Amino acid sequence: MLVLDNEMLLELNISNFAIIDRLALRFNPGFNALTGETGAGKSIIIDAMGAMLGEKIGAEFVRHGADRARVEGFFEVKLNLSDERFVRLLELMEKHELFDDAGRPTQLENGEKPRLHLSLCRELSSTGRTICRVNGSTVKQEILREIGQALIDIHGQTEHISLLRVSEHLELLDQYAGVISQRHKLAELVGQLRTLRKETLSLQHDERELVRRTELLRFQVEDIDQVALQPGEEEELLKERQIQNSAEKISTIAERTYRVLYQGYEEEEGSGYTASASRTAKGRGGNTTSKGRSVQEALSEVETLLNELIQYEAEFSKYSETVQEVRYRLEDVAHAVREFRDRVEHDPKRLEEIEERLDLIRVLKRKYGANIAEILKFRKEAAEELDKIEHSSERLAELQTQETKLLDKIGALAAKLSEARHKSGTKLAAEVVAALQDLKLMRAKFVVNLNRSEDPEGVPVKNEKGEIRRYAFDGRGIDRVEFYVSLNPGEPPKPLQKVASGGETSRLMLALKSILAAADAIPTLIFDEVDVGVGGRSGQVVGEKLWQLTNQAEHQVICITHLPQIAAFGDAHYNIVKQVKDERTSTSVIELMETQRIEELAAMLGGLPVTETKRLNALEMLRDIGEWKDKARAAKDHSPNHNGHITGTIEPISKTQLQFQS
């Protein structure tokens, strides 16, 4: 069994979709071949995948008699976090909170690529209502489509052919040319330039508007400065106001507390406070007094009495120490209360000042912020903006100088990037033409078209004549890239979107994918009707190129084919069968074991009935392809770019096994 450690569509579940009742497919990570009779439902499986990826689809696809159709796919993707496509995918999922319980994948310490597990689901009701889900969370259809485009490319249905999207051409060329890191540097410089130009634009506003803005800012700064706010001032004022409003009560409480602790007093009639009149116990030499004593005096007497008891019971020494410690602590309390009592003095004038100050703060809070910290922050920002406006002429000159330097840097880097693209574009075109010739498109032409647009506000770059010209630019440089192709003799190359449909287009896509696969991050490639108009000899080449997409570029490939030469390259082979039971038509898919696969390939080679000769031909084809694969793997193992992901081989069955099993 062939095992590849790559990203893939793990499983596809379809229910009540067209003539499919229930279908569960588990795919191989390598090359998956799907075969079957015409009309068995192969295209319906592709339609179902399109629905799962967010394509427009109508209620006519709901199986007759069912309330709803459902298509769900489960994926495991190894993430190259330096690839912009996957960065956008993660940003999109994070924005809409679509990660599963494992959370957002992060770079692993051992250098391995992190893995992302996710599911895409589409439900379609018989009324036409559709529900889209990612990892179980409901999303809009366009979100499902955008995520799906990063995971699967369906070739044969133009809505999902990424190579037909002109916006992808520059991305693919840069990946092929290996200039992504240079482009990131360029994008950083362009970001700096945009920030600088934004500031310049704000300083170049209408003059009267700037005057009005200046007056407002100056008023706001002076308005705040007049109050001379201090951080934490409001809290201190509120505390002081509370003390002033309760000064008499505070003084009374503090005075009585101090007298109880330190001076002692006689109970005052109607005071509401109880004076503790200490009495000397009878028989201990003390007399009951009418004058109150302080707590300190009472504790001193207790301490003395305990010291007398120590000569009779040593254990009382620890109680004496406890009383002594309490007395010292209460002495500190008494001093603190006395200090507070002396400090508190009712001052109507000070209370009035506090109220006025708090009123000023309340006014500023209504204008500039919820608290003093926010008001001071507002003042700082207003002062900074005012300073910029008042010194705008000097700042504008400084910004202009910075812009000129940045434009020169961007122009120099964009020119180098453009030169690398031109060289790689020529090489890419030659490789694609060679691949098309392998696929029997002998007169095909392919052109990587790079264009620039002059712009007086653009970056300075030398043209082919050595003249300094200014060109329009963005974060990707000054080039606009589009692939052109001609598949018929005498026809000039035209944009990729306008080439012929059908088998020629499929082969063109295959040729491009075989060259660009290493640069393309989309994990799963699906080819439908790639063999239209292709004969047996060409089919062998098509099969080789499809399988190399899994071996060299580590894509997962799913291919629906009518050619045994292509199907024989499959690492897994599935047979699509249409059945009629109880007057209902349904489609099922069976993963073929080795003997079953021989039977299917033999039938594809020579039709029914399957004879021994046809079986031997099928077996020989599998053996030849198995040997070819072994050589291809060995070549990869010895390649300096080999990453060691592929292990194992396909073991074709022997003639003896075939004869015995048949």
**For residue 407, pLDDT beyond 50:** yes
**For residue 597, pLDDT beyond 90:** yes
Higher-confidence residue of 518 and 1: namely 518
Residue 43 DSSP SS3: helix
Return the pLDDT at 102. Answer: 65
C-alpha to C-alpha distances, 443 to 430, 448, 509, nearest whole angstrom: 13, 17, 16
C-alpha to C-alpha distances, 176 to 89, 153, 428, nearest whole angstrom: 21, 18, 8
Question: What is the rounded average pLDDT for all residues in the chain?
Answer: 81
Query: 29-33, 182-186, 396-400, 645-649: which has the minimum mean pLDDT?
Result: 645-649
Quickly state the pLDDT bin for 566 (edges 50, 70, 90). very high
**For residue 122, pLDDT beyond 70:** yes
Higher-confidence residue of 480 and 101: namely 480
- Of 92, 405, 392, 365, the residue nearest 229 (C-alpha): 365
Do the beta carbons of residue 13 and residue 71 sit within 8 Å? Answer: yes
Do the beta carbons of residue 100 and residue 135 sit within 8 Å? Answer: yes
Quickly state the pLDDT bin for 294 (edges 50, 70, 90). confident
Backbone φ and ψ for 445, nearest 5 degrees, come out as -125, 145
**Residue 44: Cβ within 10 Å count:** 19
Mean of the pLDDT values across residues 573-592?
A: 87
Do the beta carbons of residue 102 and residue 109 sit within 8 Å? Answer: no
C-alpha 114/C-alpha 537 separation (Å) is 41
pLDDT in tens, 430-448: 999 988 888 777 888 999 9
Mean of the pLDDT values across residues 34-53?
A: 86
3-state secondary structure 530-584: CCCCCCHHHHHHHHHHHHHHHHCCCCEEEEECCCHHHHCCCCEEEEEEEEEECCE
Mean of the pLDDT values across residues 23-33?
A: 92
Token reading at 91: 């940003």
- Provide the H-helix boundaries in 204-292: 207-227, 233-245, 247-258
C-alpha 221/C-alpha 215 separation (Å) is 10
Higher-confidence residue of 220 and 642: namely 220
Do the beta carbons of residue 439 and residue 511 sit within 8 Å? Answer: yes
Return the pLDDT at 440. Answer: 76
- Of 58, 37, 33, 36, the residue nearest 47 (C-alpha): 58
Do the beta carbons of residue 53 and residue 592 sit within 8 Å? Answer: no
Mean of the pLDDT values across residues 39-57?
A: 87
pLDDT in tens, 355-386: 898 999 999 999 999 999 999 999 999 999 88
Return the pLDDT at 312. Answer: 67
Higher-confidence residue of 582 and 35: namely 35
pLDDT in tens, 501-556: 555 666 777 788 778 776 677 889 888 877 766 666 678 888 988 898 888 778 89
pLDDT in tens, 344-358: 777 788 888 888 989
Residue 184 DSSP SS3: helix
Return the pLDDT at 655. Answer: 36
Do the beta carbons of residue 516 and residue 495 sit within 8 Å? Answer: no
Mean of the pLDDT values across residues 24-48?
A: 87
pLDDT in tens, 483-493: 999 888 888 89
DSSP state of 428: H
Return the pLDDT at 213. Answer: 85
pLDDT in tens, 451-461: 999 999 899 99
Quickly state the pLDDT bin for 27 (edges 50, 70, 90). very high
**For residue 125, pLDDT beyond 90:** yes
C-alpha 241/C-alpha 570 separation (Å) is 87
Decide: residue 300, CB within 10 A, 0-12 exposed, 13-18 middle, 19+ buried. middle
Quickly state the pLDDT bin for 31 (edges 50, 70, 90). very high
Backbone φ and ψ for 24, nearest 5 degrees, come out as -130, 120
**For residue 268, pLDDT beyond 70:** no
- Walk across the sheet containing 556-560 and list its strands: 152-155, 524-528, 556-560, 31-36, 572-581, 584-591
Mean of the pLDDT values across residues 96-100?
A: 87
Mean of the pLDDT values across residues 65-83?
A: 86
3-state secondary structure 388-400: HHHCHHHHHHHHH
Query: 105-119, 210-224, 589-603: which has the minimum mean pLDDT?
Result: 105-119
- Provide the H-helix boundaries in 612-654: 612-637
Give every CB contact of residue 660 below 8 A, 6+ residues apart in sequence: none
Quickly state the pLDDT bin for 285 (edges 50, 70, 90). very low
Domain ranges in the chain are 205-390, 593-662
CA quadruple 490, 492, 498, 502: dihedral positive or negative? positive
Do the beta carbons of residue 154 and residue 50 sit within 8 Å? Answer: yes
Query: 83-92, 156-165, 584-593: which has the minimum mean pLDDT?
Result: 156-165
Higher-confidence residue of 24 and 499: namely 24
Highest mean pLDDT among 135-139, 436-440, 649-653: 135-139
**For residue 63, pLDDT beyond 70:** yes
Q: Which amino acid is at 616?
A: L
C-alpha 143/C-alpha 93 separation (Å) is 9
Location of structure tokens 């956008």 = 88
Higher-confidence residue of 580 and 593: namely 593
Mean of the pLDDT values across residues 132-139?
A: 94
Omega cis (within 30) before 523: no
Token reading at 291: 């004058």
DSSP state of 74: E
For residue 460, what are the β-bridge partners? 470
Do the beta carbons of residue 234 and residue 354 sit within 8 Å? Answer: no
Decide: residue 172, CB within 10 A, 0-12 exposed, 13-18 middle, 19+ buried. buried
Return the pLDDT at 3. Answer: 36
Greatest Cα pair distance, the chain, in angstroms, is 136
Q: Which amino acid is at 355?
A: E
